[in-house]
A = this chain, B = another copy of it.
Amino acid sequence: MKYGLIGASGRLGKEVANVFAEHKHELVFTFDLDGEKLEKEPGLLIDCSLPEVFEKSVNYVKQFKVPFIIATTGLSDENIKSLQLLAKQKPVIQSYNFSLGIQILLRLTKEASDKLPDWDVEISETHHRFKKDKPSGTAKMLQEIFEDKKVNTSSLRLGNVSGDHSVSFAGLGEILSINHRALSRRTFAEGILKSAEFALIKDKGFYSFMDVVFGNE
């Protein structure tokens, strides 16, 4: 495929470019700190940048009229509404985390929360020192599972940790915890590739990475 990449010079952007290159996909458009570079019309757009760039990204999607995969974290409710509007024309896949293990983490957390409604809950996440938003997007997804219940969330910043997430449930006499640890950023790039392949066979619609992984159920 010919694809465009917003945030191409960022850490995740670079990893995406590597993984897509290994699969012979052609990077034909980029937008990052070095500005805009357009070689050919892209058939799909990927955004691995920051919320500040969101409006710009939406305009590119409208301009190229292509499927859109957005991995940007910290989106506002308004941003999500914009994406849902775009999804009426083309497939839009939005997730704060494109790792398979994270999807299982979310799934198991949902199941445990259903079975242990009265237990204490704590969410904890550890990321590299360069990550500025707290808590992480994935931690927010975990929080949302508990709906009305406000769940205390601890954010640790250590070295270049790719991303650890933990949910602990406790009754008075026992603790059950579910933990996920990303070993490299490549995990996410592979999930984005999987999503891109999914988007190309869809007509339109607003999807999560959960749909990409468990869509055939």
Residues in A lying within 8 Å of B, measured CB to CB: 99-102, 104-105, 107-108, 111-112, 115-116, 119-120, 122, 124, 126, 129, 152, 154-162, 168-190, 213-214
| With known contacts A111-B111, A156-B122, A159-B183, A190–B172 Cβ distance under 8 A | yes
Interface of A is mostly: mixed
- The answer to whether B154 touches A156, judged by C-beta atoms less than 8 angstroms apart, is yes
Select which of B120, B159, B173, B185 is within 8 A of A170 by beta carbon.
Answer: B159
List B contacts of A213 (CB < 8 A). 115
Decide if B176 touches A183 in the complex (CB within 8 Å): no
**Known: A104-B112, A108-B108. Is A175-B154 also a contact (CB below 8 A)?**
no
Which residues does chain B contribute within 8 Å of A189, judged by CB atoms? Answer: 173
CA distance A65 to B53 in the complex (A): 53
